[in-house]
Amino acid sequence: MAEAERIIGTPDSAGADESAASDGTEAPVGRPRGRRRILALFVVALLAYLLDLGSKILVVEKLEGREPIRVIGDLLRFDAIRNPGAAFGMGEAFTIIFTCIAAAVIVVIIRLARKLYSLPWAIALGLLLGGALGNLTDRIFRSPGVFEGAVVDFIAPAHFAVFNLADSAIVCGGILIVILSFRGLDPDGTVHKD
């Protein structure tokens, strides 16, 4: 079990709030135990957000209104589209609801960050946060209006829906959360067996 905890990450022991110092007295309150994990969450979120935002700016500037670019023959192309709905273009009439859901996800992740002591969970939640922020930015600032904006999608694999880097970050974060849950690792760094 100690080997598993070492591999998947557990609460920090160095620099953590310890209940007693080596001489048996109360240890002074130091840095919060999950501070590095919270920093990791926000760094991953910022990277995911900036990559998504930069790619969308480039796509709108260079690709929108033009012929798709074939990247790998017929298997993959870049094709700028505006998606007012959810994933796979579903739910176009519910753009405001998707905007509210994305905002709620962001709030939940930020609140959960206070109890975060696992680096893998920090990475997973950072991907979710960055992806949600990327698509929420489109929903707020793109036409046709505030909270009704269409998301810029451009990655078009053959026989699949067109998506963007924010969608990719959300899916990767979700898959990582499922894997961590199956492995028994909780966001607080504890490992349990069911």
- pLDDT at 47 exceeding the cut of 50: yes
Q: Kindly name the residue from 167, 186, 188, 194 that is annotated as catalytic.
A: 167
DSSP 56: H
For residue 185, what are the β-bridge partners? 191
What pTM, to 2 d.p., does this model score?
Answer: 0.77
The pair of three-digit structure tokens given for residue 39, joined into one six-digit string: 């920093």
**For this structure, is 12 an active site residue?**
no
pLDDT of residue 56: 97
**For this structure, is 186 an active site residue?**
no
pLDDT of residue 20: 39
Label residues 24-41 b or e (16+ Cβ within 10 Å = b): eeeeeeeeebbebbbebb
- Residue 5 to residue 12: CA distance in whole angstroms: 11
What is the band of 44 on the pLDDT scale with cuts at 50, 70, 90?
Answer: very high
pLDDT of residue 83: 87
Cα angle value 37/41/42 (rounded, 5°): 120
pLDDT of residue 166: 95
The pair of three-digit structure tokens given for residue 10, joined into one six-digit string: 């557990």
| Span of 24-38, 124-138, 151-165 with lowest mean pLDDT | 24-38
- pLDDT at 22 exceeding the cut of 50: no
Q: Kindly name the residue from 74, 153, 186, 188 that is annotated as catalytic.
A: 153
Mean of all residue pLDDT scores within the chain: 81
User: Hey, what amino acid is at 93?
Assistant: A
Q: How far is CA 150 from CA 26, 94, 140, in A?
A: 55, 11, 9
